[in-house]
Structure 1
Amino acid sequence: MIRLFAAVPIPFDIAEGLARRQRGLPGARWRPAEALHITLAFYGALGEPRADDLAAELTRPGSIRSIHSRASGPSATATGPAPCGPGWPLSEPLNILAGRCRVAGQRAGVVMESRDYRPHVTLAYLRGAEDDRVGAWMTGHNLLHSPPFRVDRFGLYTSVLTDAGSHYTLEREYLF
């Protein structure tokens, strides 16, 4: 079984800019710049035949031209080991691409999560971070905006859980 997700890679210069903000929050497990991405769909643990079906289904994202995107302001969730990072303004093309990745998973027989799609980049996982410190960090970075960047590809990634956090590997890249 392999854990898979579809995501848009963050350009190096944008990732480096985000990585410079990864300090000043005790309890945060910061993600390395090379692990930063915008998740489109999480597929979970799949056997190899279903993973192959999924990879084939992802070759049919439909007619999407390049997308222009940018980060804006941090957010955090309040349950469990919570991700913390910038949100992404929901652009219609990004939303369509995420929807098509979700449908590709369904066509491949993957049971998909039912929650609404909210594009974001996980900068850190929070364990034991105090709410007031998280709030202060978010307030200190609420004016965060990255320069826009062009999205013309997405990838199918494996995720391997380790004691140091998840390790991601690009398995297939899809251009549009």
Structure 2
Amino acid sequence: MRGAWEPVLEQLVRERYPRLLTRAFLLVGPGGDAEDLVQEALLATFGGRARFASVEAAEQYVRRAIVSRFVDRLRRTGRERTAHDEAARLDPGSSSEVFSTELEVALTRLAPRERACVVLRHVEQMSVAETAAHLGLSEGAVKRYTYDGLGRLNEALGTRAPDEDADLPVRLVRGGGA
């Protein structure tokens, strides 16, 4: 007998899995088990047979679960410095299968907390308070990690912010080759 939640899960995986996987890749970087992270989030979300009114509501819940699982991993392993060092040694050419844009490659070179703050603030469009609550950081730390992360991204990409006080969201656009 199928539960009422199964069609929602099936539709979510069929239609939204690539987007969920992209979010996880932005957080963990290449070799960071993004697929495992998405699977853990799906299990956590649907393992308790949660009821959702729509696929959109389920997707939002899973996206937050991805972030929560990522933060749990950081806390559990205590390997932030090691992860940063590994990402810094990466050859961008070797990660072209997973990360297809310069922005995605540059994100992998940020320290995990910087990357998490940048992704949550500018890709997921969370507020400073929401990001702080999700990551278990103070709002000041979120602002600092975001500022430092954006500075490193601008340096890596050869760009600069149009206005340091602007809070503009980053939009990832997948397209054909440039």
Give TM-score scaled by structure 1 length.
0.28
Q: Between Structure 1 and Structure 2, which shows a larger proportion of strand residues?
A: 1
Give TM-score scaled by structure 2 length.
0.28
Q: Between Structure 1 and Structure 2, which shows a larger proportion of helix residues?
A: 2
Greater relative contact order (CA < 8 Å, ≥ 6 in sequence):
1
